[in-house]
Amino acid sequence: MSERLDEVLGSCPLAGAPFSEQLSSHVCTEDGARVHGYALEGDLAQHYGMAEVLLLSLTGELPASQRARAAEVALIFSSGLSVAKAAGHAVITARVCGCDSAPLTGIAALALAEEAHALLGRCAELFVWLEAGEELSPPECSCRPGGGVARLLGDLEAEGIDLPTSFMALHDEAALVAVLHWAGLTEPGQISAALVTSRLPNLLAEAESHVPRDFLAYPMNLPRFEYEPRK
């Protein structure tokens, strides 16, 4: 089989390119025993919590305690979800028609990633401000009239975690992104991964709590679609 493939590839434009013979791994060792150099079993599992290991995975370094705690609080705050949103609605729909856990997980992760991507799109100006060092006022579109996310920032302040005072002016979404950025997740992809990870369990649990084939319990006409013939 491989000889025939070489015959065919011999005429292919890719045939002469000097491809690597190996797949590179940057985060985990091939046996999965270490993450960014740290042993999972003898080290991380004994001395660190899930949020710290999550930040290690995404940034490459173990976070300072305050940064880890800030990320943990922010991710717990954001882990709740409404079934009214596309991700919840999609997994319930898939579950009702009998999807098993593997495709449900795929649908859930994809839907959450799309929501995170949309959130980060709305926070594009905020990112510019965060990268600039927060000395200027935050962008107006990220602010909430009358003040910011008192509960999130209040909880963190109560634990002695001092965030920039400018965060107080931010609205919920912006404050979430700002806290995660402050905690060390400075790339949109890192924030997306953290948000998907924090929300996935609740989303899958919601899916599993619905009964497959219980079609009558599902609101078939929600939302109501109207057909408009194309002109």
Q: Tell me which residues touch other proteins (CB under 8 A).
A: 82-87, 89-90, 93-94, 96-100, 102-103, 106-107, 110-111, 113-115, 117-118, 209, 212-213, 215, 219-223, 225
- Listed residue (106, 121, 84) closest to 196, CA to CA: 106
Cα(76)–Cα(79) distance, integer angstroms: 5
The DSSP call for residue 28 is: B
Rounded to the nearest whole angstrom, what is the least distance from the CB of residue 7 to other proteins in the complex? 12
HSE at residue 161, side-chain half, CA atoms within 13 A, is 22
Rounded to the nearest whole angstrom, what is the least distance from the CB of residue 113 to other proteins in the complex? 8
CB closer to other proteins out of 89 and 171: 89
Rounded to the nearest whole angstrom, what is the least distance from the CB of residue 114 to other proteins in the complex? 5
CB closer to other proteins out of 23 and 102: 102
Neighbours of 102 (CB within 10 A): 8
Rounded to the nearest whole angstrom, what is the least distance from the CB of residue 221 to other proteins in the complex? 7
Cα(209)–Cα(95) distance, integer angstroms: 9
- Listed residue (133, 179, 137) closest to 159, CA to CA: 179
Cα(204)–Cα(105) distance, integer angstroms: 7
Name every residue whose Cβ is closer than 8 Å to that of residue 66 and which is 6 or more positions away in sequence: 160, 161
CB closer to other proteins out of 32 and 223: 223
CB closer to other proteins out of 42 and 201: 201
Rounded to the nearest whole angstrom, what is the least distance from the CB of residue 166 to other proteins in the complex? 29
Q: Using the CB atoms, write b or e for 150-187: b if 16+ within 10 Å.
A: eebbebbeeeebebeebbbbbbebbbbbbbbbbbbbee
CB closer to other proteins out of 44 and 161: 161
CB closer to other proteins out of 18 and 223: 223
Rounded to the nearest whole angstrom, what is the least distance from the CB of residue 223 to other proteins in the complex? 5
